[in-house]
Chain A
Amino acid sequence: AQSVTQLGSHVSVSEGALVLLRCNYSSSVPPYLFWYVQYPNQGLQLLLKYTSAATLVKGINGFEAEFKKSETSFHLTKPSAHMSDAAEYFCAVMSTGNQFYFGTGTSLTVIP
Chain B
Amino acid sequence: DTAVSQTPKYLVTQMGNDKSIKCEQNLGHDTMYWYKQDSKKFLKIMFSYNNKELIINETVPNRFSPKSPDKAHLNLHINSLELGDSAVYFCASSPGQLNTEAFFGQGTRLTVV
Contact = CB atoms under 8 A, between A and B. Distances in A.
A102 B43 contact: yes
Interface in B41-87: 41-43, 45, 48, 50, 55-56
B48 A98 contact: yes
A46 B97 CA distance: 16
A107 B41 CA distance: 9
Contact of A46 (B42, B48, B90, B101): B101
Q: Contact size class for B? A: 20 to 34
Given A98-B94, A105-B42, A43 B107 contact: yes
B78 to A, nearest CB: 20
A45 B104 contact: yes
Interface stretch (A15-23, A60-68, A70-78, A88-96): A88-96
A27 interface: no
A46 B99 CA distance: 13
Contacts of B90: 43-44
Contacts of A90: 43
Contact of B56 (A43, A99, A102): A99
A106 to B, nearest CB: 9
Given A94-B98, A100-B102, 17 more contacts: A41-B107, A42-B106, A43-B4, A43-B104, A44-B90, A44-B92, A44-B102, A98-B31, A98-B50, A99-B48, A100-B33, A100-B45, A102-B35, A102-B43, A104-B40, A104-B41, A105-B43
Interface of A: 32, 34, 36, 38, 41-46, 49, 51-52, 88, 90, 94, 96-102, 104-105, 107
Interface of B: 4, 31, 33, 35, 40-43, 45, 48, 50, 55-56, 90, 92, 94, 96-99, 101-107
